Amino acid sequence: MSTTATTHGMDGRLVEADWPPLTLAETRMLLAGFPECGEAVEILSVSPRPFSAASVVAAGGGRVFVKRHHRTVRDREGLLEEHRFMRHLRGHGAPVPSVFADAFGETAIERGEWSYEVHEVPAGVDAYEDALSWTPFRSTAHARSAGATLARLHLAAQEFDAPRRKTRPLVAGFTIFATQNPEEAMDEYLAARPALSNDAVTRECCEQSLESIAPFHAELRPLLTALKPLWTHNDLHASNLLWSDESNNARAVAVIDFGLADRTNAVHDIAIAIERNIVEWLALRGEAEDVPVHLDHLQALLDGYESVRPLTAEEAAAMAPMTALCHAEFALTEADYFLGVLHSPENARICMEDYLVGHVKWFHSVGGKRLLSAIRHWDTTHERVEEQ
C-alpha cells in the first residue's frame, strides 16, 4: 500500500502530515526487539491523526499498532505515564489494548529523536476510522454504548492513584479551572510553558477567555470539592472506540488512544465526551451560531453512563458548567504544541482565537444556551444517588 501521509487539518480537511510516516524498514528494526510480535511484514494503514505517526502493521505474530512520537512531544517517561494507567485499567477489567514490551521489558523505546510504542490491535471494528473529533455519533445506540463504556472505564480507574502528569504538550488536564482562582492558575500554567507565555496573542486570548468563562466557573466553583480526583481518558470520541460491527446498533468493545489521559475527574471526562461528540464545532465560522447540536445523542450518552455508574447530585449539577469550560485547557496545550514543537503560529492562532475564545463565546449564544439548558434539564429530572 502507499504510505503517503495525510492528516486531519485544523479545518477538517486532509493536509500533508507534520511527521513522516512509518516505513517498513523502520518497523522491522523496531519489532526485531519485540520477540512476541515477530518480524514486520507489511504496513496495513497510515493513521490520519495529526500529532504522531502511527500504523497498523502485519507482523509474524499478528497485527500490531505501532506509534512514533517526537521526543519533544512524548519521551519515554511521558509514554510510561500512559502505559501504567492502561495496565491498571486492563487489570481491572476495562476493554483496553495491551502494550507490548521488548526483550528487556521496556514498553517505551527511545531511538534518536523518536519515541516508539507497540500496542495490541484489539478485536472490533474501527467504524469511525476517518472521523474527526467534533463529528457526531451515527446513532443514539452508539452514544448510549459510548457512555456506558466511559462509566466502566471510570470504575476501573478508581484505585489508580498516580499523581498528575508532568508538564508536557498535548495533555488534556484540568488544573486552571479546578482552582478557586483561575486567573492565578492561568498565570502559573503559562509560566510553565514558555512558548505560550512569550506569545502576545496567547496572553490576550487567555484574558478574553477568563472573562467569558467566569460565569461558568462561578457556577462550578462551589461544586469542585465534590468532584473526586480520577485518572481519565480525556478524549472519548467515537473514533477512539472500536465497535462490535458496522451497524447503527453496534456496541463499543474497546477504548484506544490514551495520549491525553491525566488526573482530572469523572465529570470533566464526560464533559469532554459531550464536547467531542455532541457539538459539530467545525460548522462554527466567524460569528456564526448555527452549529448542529445532537441533543438526542446527549441524552443517550448520559443515560448510558448512568446505567453503569450513577452520578451524585453534585456531579450532575457540575455537568453544564464543566461542559462550557472543559475545552479550555486542551486548546492551550494544543497551542503550546504548535508554538513550541512545530513553530506554527498560524495553527496556534486557530487554537487560541477559534477554540479557546470562540467556543466559550458560543456557549453564551442561543445554541450554546440551548445545550446547557438541556444538560440542566437532565440534571433536574434524572434519578439521583447520594454521594458515597
| pLDDT of 321 | 98
- pLDDT at residue 349 greater than cutoff 50: yes
CATH 3.30.200.20 fits domain 6-120? yes
Q: Which of 11-20, 133-142, 146-155, 231-240 has the lowest mean pLDDT?
A: 11-20
DSSP code per residue over 43-109: E------SSSEEEEEEETTEEEEEEEEETTT--HHHHHHHHHHHHHHHHTT-----B---TTS-SSE
Query: Could you tell me which residues come within 8 angstroms of residue 4 by beta carbon, excluding any fewer than 6 positions away?
Result: 21, 46
| pLDDT of 4 | 54
The tens digit of pLDDT for each residue in 282-334 reads 888 655 568 999 999 999 999 999 999 999 999 999 999 999 999 999 999 99
Q: What band does 133 get if pLDDT is binned at 50, 70 and 90?
A: confident
| pLDDT of 287 | 55
Q: Residue holding cell 459531550?
A: 274
CB 312 within 8 A of CB 299: no
d(CA 277, CA 12): 15
What average pLDDT does the segment 66-85 reach?
98
Residues of the chain with CATH 3.90.1200.10: 140-381
d(CA 163, CA 166): 9
| pLDDT of 134 | 83
Q: What band does 10 get if pLDDT is binned at 50, 70 and 90?
A: low
CB 311 within 8 A of CB 380: no
Name the residue among 201, 174, 200 with its Cα closest to residue 333: 174
Residue percentage of the chain with pLDDT more than 90: 87
What average pLDDT does the segment 97-122 reach?
97
Q: What band does 384 get if pLDDT is binned at 50, 70 and 90?
A: low
Residue 108 corresponds to which cell in the numbers above? 517505551
What average pLDDT does the segment 32-40 reach?
96
What average pLDDT does the segment 257-274 reach?
98
pTM (2 d.p.): 0.94
| pLDDT of 117 | 98
The tens digit of pLDDT for each residue in 196-231 reads 999 999 999 999 999 999 999 999 999 999 999 999
Q: Compute the radius of gyration of the chain from its Cα atoms.
A: 20
Cα 207–Cα 210–Cα 211 angle in degrees, nearest 5: 90
- pLDDT at residue 385 greater than cutoff 60: no
| pLDDT of 197 | 96
CA dihedral angle for residue 373, residue 374, residue 375, residue 381, rounded to 10 degrees: 110
Q: Which of 3-7, 47-51, 140-144, 163-167 has the lowest mean pLDDT?
A: 3-7
Name the residue among 271, 304, 257 with its Cα closest to residue 83: 257
| pLDDT of 361 | 95
What average pLDDT does the segment 60-85 reach?
97
Name the residue among 73, 221, 234, 65 with its Cα closest to residue 153: 234
Name the residue among 102, 89, 237, 107 with its Cα closest to residue 162: 89
| pLDDT of 265 | 98
pLDDT, averaged across the chain: 93
Running DSSP on this structure, what letter comes out for residue 180?
A: S
What average pLDDT does the segment 6-31 reach?
79
Q: What band does 12 get if pLDDT is binned at 50, 70 and 90?
A: low
Q: Which fold has domain 140-381?
A: Aminoglycoside 3'-phosphotransferase; Chain: A, domain 2 (3.90.1200)
Q: What band does 3 get if pLDDT is binned at 50, 70 and 90?
A: very low
What average pLDDT does the segment 263-284 reach?
95
| pLDDT of 343 | 95
For helices 140-157 and 76-91, give the axis angle rounded to 10 degrees: 100
Name the residue among 228, 47, 21 with its Cα closest to residue 129: 47
Q: Residue holding cell 495490541?
A: 120
The tens digit of pLDDT for each residue in 142-152 reads 999 999 999 99
Name the residue among 139, 153, 96, 149 with its Cα closest to residue 307: 149
CB 21 within 8 A of CB 46: yes
Residue 29 corresponds to which cell in the numbers above? 528494526
User: Higher confidence at residue 2 or residue 382?
Assistant: 382
Phi-psi region of 167 (alpha: psi -120 to 50; beta: other; left: phi over 0): beta
| pLDDT of 11 | 55
| pLDDT of 1 | 41
Q: For the chain, how far is it from start to end, CA to CA, in angstroms?
A: 54
